């Protein structure tokens, strides 16, 4: 169909490059949600926190002239916004679903408001893809793995840190205990509220980094709607990855692939209209939910046992 247009190789390299790029962006947000959920707090505000990170990162990058300062500011903004959820859902013990949804709506609205003067501004400050010299020049691998945005490597590094922190440190154990059995963690002398607030803040910071990835690297600049529902995919991804850091990374790559494929259906000469393919990430999300529900009927859940349950010492 694409007569003489593409060497499928270039398209394949492009697909894998874009899959890693989109995957790393989603992974940052998913990692944050994973940490919050492992501590027992479901935070459906990811979309809002990503929007705040996207606008905050861009605004501070423009104002300071440094994408790295923008990134730092985004993570702080994300953690602060997440504290709204922390206040309601963790400290006051409100319904986590309601509070999280409110955070999404509030975060997106506030981001749009904050970004009014930055809307469609020319992105003079942005992350430049790395150039690792000979590594980047290797055929295939160079382009796919060694010419990514610095944020892709940051996502990988943070994934490693999160895995180590959750699974190999005392603090990680306490945090997971807060998510599995808050009362036990409390008895062991840990502050469940403190642990959960910490996890929610980290979650917000990571979600905001995902948003800043969009506004400072993938599609530099701020426009309303830049997050475009990707926060929800990040939430689904945590379930897909069974609350495990490494499996979520794999899932993020798969979802990245699903996001990058519709643009390249012509190059691969795939059947069906590309618009059908663009449903792929969402179909995948639904499929994951259904599969998850079916699997959970027969065996103990992967989900942290105390996920979504507010902790109140008096009510033990």
Partner 1 sequence: MGGKMKNTTVRCMLTRLFVPLLALTLLAVACANDSSTEPVTTTTNQPTTTAADSTDNGTDMDADEMGSDANSSADANDGEDFSAAFIYISPIGEAGWTWAHDQGRLHAQRVTGVRTEFVENIDDGSPADTEAAIRTLVADGHDVIIGTSFGYMDTMEEMAQEFPDVVFEHVSGFKSNDTNFGNTFGKIYQPRYLTGMIAGATTQTNKIGYVAAFPIPEVARGINAFTLGALRVNPDVEVHVNWTSTWFDPALEGDAADALLEAGADVIAMHQDTTAAGLAAEAAGARWVSYNSDMSEFAPDAYLASAIWNWGPRYAEIISSAADGTYTPVPYWGDYSDGIVDIGSIADDVDADIVDQVNEVRQQMIDGTFNVFEGPLFGQDDTQLLADGEVMDFGTLLGEAFFVKGVIGDIG
> Which positions lie near partner 1, rule CB under 8 A?
1-3, 5-6, 10-11, 13-14, 18, 22, 84, 88, 92-95, 98-99, 101-103, 105-106, 108-110, 112-113, 116, 119-123, 214, 218-221, 223-226, 228, 230, 259-260, 262-264, 266-267, 273-275, 278, 312, 314-315
Q: Distances in Å between the alpha carbon of 21 and those of 70, 111, 137?
A: 19, 23, 18
User: Minimum Å distance from CB 301 to partner 1?
Assistant: 25
User: Minimum Å distance from CB 38 to partner 1?
Assistant: 23
Site of tokens 């062991």: 188
Provide the phi-psi class of 257: left if phi over 0, else alpha when psi is between -120 and 50, else beta.
alpha
> Which is closer to partner 1, CB of 96 or CB of 181?
96
> Which is closer to partner 1, CB of 10 or CB of 187?
10
| C-beta separation of 306 from 178 below 8 A | yes
| C-beta separation of 107 from 81 below 8 A | yes
User: Minimum Å distance from CB 240 to partner 1?
Assistant: 20
> Which is closer to partner 1, CB of 177 or CB of 212?
212
- The 3-state DSSP class for residue 222 equals strand
Q: Distances in Å between the alpha carbon of 157 and those of 5, 131, 213, 249?
A: 38, 18, 15, 12
> Which is closer to partner 1, CB of 6 or CB of 130?
6
What backbone phi and psi angles, to 5 degrees, belong to 19? -65, -40
User: Minimum Å distance from CB 143 to partner 1?
Assistant: 10
User: Minimum Å distance from CB 176 to partner 1?
Assistant: 26
Question: Taking the C-alpha atoms of 213, 217, 219 and 225 in order, what is their torsion angle to the nearest 10 degrees?
Answer: 20
Site of tokens 């790029």: 21
> Which is closer to partner 1, CB of 72 or CB of 226?
226
User: Minimum Å distance from CB 160 to partner 1?
Assistant: 25
| C-beta separation of 73 from 57 below 8 A | yes
* Distance separating alpha carbons of residues 132 and 183, to the nearest angstrom: 50
> Which is closer to partner 1, CB of 175 or CB of 261?
261
> Which is closer to partner 1, CB of 92 or CB of 287?
92
CB atoms within 10 A of CB 118: 17
What backbone phi and psi angles, to 5 degrees, belong to 119? -55, 125
**N-terminal to C-terminal alpha carbon distance within the chain:** 65
What backbone phi and psi angles, to 5 degrees, belong to 87? -65, -50
> Which is closer to partner 1, CB of 12 or CB of 242?
12
User: Minimum Å distance from CB 266 to partner 1?
Assistant: 6
User: Minimum Å distance from CB 75 to partner 1?
Assistant: 20
> Which is closer to partner 1, CB of 101 or CB of 130?
101
Q: Distances in Å between the alpha carbon of 66 and those of 25, 120, 205, 207?
A: 20, 19, 18, 20
User: Minimum Å distance from CB 65 to partner 1?
Assistant: 19
């Amino acid at each position: 169909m694409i007569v003489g247009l593409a060497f499928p190789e270039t398209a394949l390299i492009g697909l894998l490059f874009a899959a890693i790029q989109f995957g790393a962006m989603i992974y940052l947000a998913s990692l944050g949600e994973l940490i919050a959920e492992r501590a027992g707090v479901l935070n459906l505000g990811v979309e809002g926190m990503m929007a705040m990170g996207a606008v905050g990162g861009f605004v501070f990058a423009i104002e300071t002239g440094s994408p790295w300062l923008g990134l730092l500011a985004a993570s702080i903004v994300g953690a602060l916004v997440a504290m709204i959820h922390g206040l309601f859902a963790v400290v006051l013990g409100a319904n986590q679903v309601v509070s999280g949804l409110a955070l999404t709506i509030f975060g997106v609205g506030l981001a749009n408001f904050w970004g009014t003067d930055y809307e469609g501004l020319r992105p003079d400050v942005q992350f430049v893809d790395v150039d690792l010299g000979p590594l980047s020049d290797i055929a295939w691998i160079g382009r796919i793995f060694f010419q990514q945005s610095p944020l892709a490597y940051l996502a990988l590094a943070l994934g490693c840190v999160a895995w180590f922190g959750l699974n190999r440190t005392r603090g990680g154990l306490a945090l997971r205990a807060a998510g599995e059995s808050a009362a036990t963690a409390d008895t062991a002398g840990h502050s469940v509220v403190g642990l959960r607030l910490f996890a929610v803040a980290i979650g917000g910071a990571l979600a905001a980094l995902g948003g800043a990835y969009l506004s400072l690297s993938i599609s530099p600049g701020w426009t309303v709607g830049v997050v475009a529902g990707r926060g929800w995919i990040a939430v689904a991804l945590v379930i897909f990855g069974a609350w495990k850091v490494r499996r979520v990374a794999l899932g993020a790559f798969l979802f990245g692939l699903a996001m990058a494929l519709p643009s390249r259906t012509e190059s691969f000469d795939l059947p069906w209209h590309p618009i059908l393919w663009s449903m792929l990430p969402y179909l995948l999300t639904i499929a994951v939910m259904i599969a998850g529900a079916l699997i959970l009927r027969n065996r103990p859940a992967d989900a942290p046992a105390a996920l979504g349950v507010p902790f109140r010492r008096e009510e033990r």
